[in-house]
Amino acid sequence: MTETTKQLKPDKQQSSNEIRMPGPVVAICGGVGGAKLALGLYRILEPDALSIIINTGDDFEHLGLHISPDIDTVTYTLADLNNKETGWGRRDETWTFMKSLEALDAETWFMLGDGDLAIHVERSRRLAGGESLSAITASFARNLGISANLLPMTNDKFSTVVKTKQGVLSFQDYFVRQQAKPCVERIDFDGIDSASPSDEVLAAVSQPNLSAIIICPSNPFLSIDPILSVPGIKQAIRASSAPVVCISPLIGGHAVKGPTAKIMTELSFPTTASAIENHYSELIDGLIIDLVDRDESVDISRPNLVTKTLMNSTEDREELARAALKFAKSL
């Protein structure tokens, strides 16, 4: 048993306010914003009750490594290894590898910490050996003491591509190298026609006793849309009798972090709760918005819950998770 496992388990048990849902729960999420709520759900649900479908549209090859940024963020967050300041990567990280790369005049725009390197090297090695991303992700989660099911949305090649005023950019070029500054005109998904959901994703969504599907407050365009556009996932969600609840990633018309509001403006959407509702209109049964936006409640046609959605502390994450599950139960 690793140090992490020893630390995490008692910590998770300390959350005495475990919630009993009639059945398992599926969360749909990207990286930083999504992982915050995923952690809240993980901490209040019984072990094994949570499956998290994670965006892989951000995945890319870099320095010969297969990097899955959103899977890593969720993995580190649930294993309590995440860097809370940056929102990505591991805490207590060292940077010898990056400094050594720099000395070689190699590419250093994508930061890979020394500890973080292990997950990319080992993932790449196992992928090259023929294992699926699903199997590798599940095995990493198990080894790090995580009892939730972490599910990459697909095992197939699928890449988010951003068409901007400065040209067509691969996702990480847009998001990291150019810091999401270029004005977005369109977002495309390369590989969309030949991708299919992993078996684990379809199995999670079609559990007959599923009690809720929670769309986390992730970027709708860059984190959730890639998941929903994998042929078969939307259909499976619609076929489920579980209520689908979305938590708005906007608070007061702004993103807490990242380019969600900026992209909405660039794509000519208002940065409002009802625009979020419309974005998911074919899919959701209810929307959760922040207290700050309570006046916008009247513009939402579906059942909605107005509550604190800003997650600063662990308690905030648990409280929002509890509110979301209770709201789902009421639908």
Residue whose Cβ sits closest to ligand GDP: 33
Figure out which of the listed residues 19, 24, 25, 30 binds ligand GDP, where binding follows CB under 6 A.
30
Residue pointed to by tokens 């949570």: 50
Residue 274 in tokens: 């009802």
Within the chain, where are the H helices? 3-14, 32-44, 69-78, 96-103, 114-128, 133-143, 171-172, 199-205, 225-229, 233-239, 260-266, 273-279, 314-330
Q: Give which of Ca ion, ligand GDP, none residue 169 binds (C-beta under 5 to 8 Å, depending on kind).
A: none
Closer to ligand GDP by CB, 236 or 256: give it.
Answer: 256
Q: Of 57 and 286, which has the nearer Cβ to Ca ion? A: 57
Q: Is residue 286 within the footprint of ligand GDP (CB under 6 A)?
A: no
32 binds, among ligand GDP, Ca ion, none (CB under 5 to 8 A by kind): ligand GDP
Closest approach, Cβ 189 to ligand GDP, in A, equals 15
The 144-173 contact track toward ligand GDP, x by CB under 6 A, reads ------------------------------
Question: Which residues from 197-256 bind ligand GDP, rule CB under 6 A?
Answer: 217-219, 223, 247, 249, 251, 255-256
Please enumerate, as own/partner, the contacts of 259-264 that have beta carbons within 8 Å and a separation of 24 or more. Answer: 259/175, 259/180, 259/184, 259/219, 259/222, 260/219, 260/220, 260/221, 260/222, 262/180, 263/180, 263/184, 263/219, 263/221, 263/222, 264/221
For the four alpha carbons of 37, 39, 41 and 43, in that order, the dihedral sign comes to: negative
Pick the closer one to ligand GDP by CB: 161 or 310: 310
* Alpha-carbon torsion angle 136, 140, 142, 144, nearest 10: 180
* CA gap 312, 290 in Å, rounded: 14
Q: Which listed residue (24, 34, 89, 197) binds ligand GDP by CB under 6 A? A: 34
Binding partner of residue 255 among Ca ion, ligand GDP, none, CB cut-off 5 to 8 Å per kind: ligand GDP
CA distances, 229 to each of 58, 136, 237, 258 (Å): 14, 23, 12, 22
Tell me which residues in 56-95 interact with ligand GDP (CB under 6 A).
70, 73
- Please, which residue, 157 or 257, has the CB nearer to ligand GDP? 257
Residue from 40, 152, 243, 258 in contact with ligand GDP (CB under 6 A):
258
Count residues binding ligand GDP (CB under 6 A). Answer: 24
Q: Which residues bind ligand GDP (CB under 6 A)?
A: 29-34, 36, 70, 73, 217-219, 223, 247, 249, 251, 255-258, 260, 309-311
